[in-house]
Structure 1
Amino acid sequence: MDPFLALLHSFSSSLSESELSDLKFLCQHKIGKRKLESVRSGRELFGFLLEQRAIAADSVGFLETMLKAIKREDLMLRLEQFVEGAEDNAAEQPDVNEKRLQKVAIEVICENVGKDWKRLMRSLGFPEVKMDRVVAAYPFNLLEQLIQSLREWQKWKGKDAKVADLIKALRDCGLNLVADRVEQKLLQMSTETK
């Protein structure tokens, strides 16, 4: 399955009728009036845009402009992640064991870190701009902001993302109890696998 088509399909299912109407208005110069009148879903609209070569997996500028115009920051973030993911596939990733440890550490962090998540991300050296994008995409969901920020941090650091960095950052910003819980969980996990 084409990942770009899957992304467009998911965008289509999350559009309201008024957002679809706004997108159709924005596409008047790309798609003929008759075709636009027949469009009843985002999927159909994106299909016409693909036919016209107005959007493509390697050419998302127009799609990004449209999403910005209808103020769908969440979809813009997903599009950006798609583009970065395509670029990052060539980058080295952490080994399987480190990924497993990170997953456990992140679960514990998400259960125990609340409104202090930005302080943690700053301690990890995560760029403020990326945090702002995550907040814009999930404005009323603190947990999702933390989860997405940690995922973005993992992508940003690539193979250099280490659980030790997470624990150090937790301690650096005074979240020692959470750091202890992460270490306990990792220790428990290592004894279970022996």
Structure 2
Amino acid sequence: MSSLDFNTTLLDISNELLGDQLDKMKFLCKECIGKNVSEKIDTGFKLFQVLMERNKLAADDTDFLSSLLTGVGRDDLARKLGDCEPGLSLDEEDKAERAKLSSASDVIAQNIGRNWRRLGRKLGLTQVKLESISQKFPTDLEETAQELLQEWRKAQGGKARTEELLKALRDCHQNLTADKVEHELALCTEH
């Protein structure tokens, strides 16, 4: 990903942050930015600039910002940030695959339920990563599944494919969910 694409994504995220969410994010990272600097930050983008200066944020290292966004209840923005895969050249085929992965992720998150760990293991995520995901969303299975799929996509980078998701679902005996994903993808290609 180019620095322009990354900065554009950060600007989009900054524009969607509410004032109290920004205040909460500043509170969560006050130790790394300092009180004096924190008081001068009035936009998300200014916060992101400080985080970059402190080596807490880069195009290939978005974990800290992602955890801040999740901490203030903006999982949607954390996912948007997670969709920024470094080094990925987005030609038309890549864009189509990302759209398919996004649709598939939504269907899986809505349907996988308590079997998300089994799916995570089939997708090659470590037990430590699965435990970390579990702790982020202890009571929300749909958000847990979304986080799982985001982590898998991040680990796979540009090699993430819907076919691999479908195979993992079938290997977990989640055939109904796999069928729903295939149905959703068929609907997407028709339009």
TM normalised by structure 2 equals 0.61
Unaligned 5+ segments in structure 1 are 62-66
Number of aligned residue pairs: 173
How does 1:10-159 map onto structure 2 within 5 Å? 10=17, 13-14=20-21, 20=27, 23=30, 27=34, 31=36, 43=42, 55-60=50-55, 74-75=70-71, 88-92=85-89, 95-159=94-158
Change (3 A) 1:128 1:91: farther
Q: Structure 1 20/57 Cα, relative in aligned 2: closer, same or farther at 3 Å?
A: closer
RMSD: 4.7
Q: Percent identity?
A: 25
In structure 2, relative to structure 1, the CA distance for the partners of 1:180 and 1:75 (3 Å cut) is same
Aligned partners of 1:164 and 1:22: how far apart in 2?
39
Q: Any gaps of 5 or more consecutive residues in structure 2?
A: 1-6, 57-63
Contact kept? 1:154, 1:161, Cα under 8 Å: yes
User: 1:161 matched to which residue of 2?
Assistant: 160
- Tell whether the 8 Å contact from 2:83 to 2:150 is kept in structure 1 after alignment: no
Residue 172, structure 1, aligned to residue 171, structure 2 = yes
* Cα distance in structure 2, aligned partners of 1:154 and 1:187: 21
**Larger Rg belongs to:** 1
**Which whole-Å CA distance do the structure 1 matches of 2:30 and 2:19 have between them?**
11
TM-score normalised by L of structure 1: 0.60
SS of match in other structure, 1:140? coil
Shift of 1:138: 2.5
Give the Å deviation of 1:27: 4.5
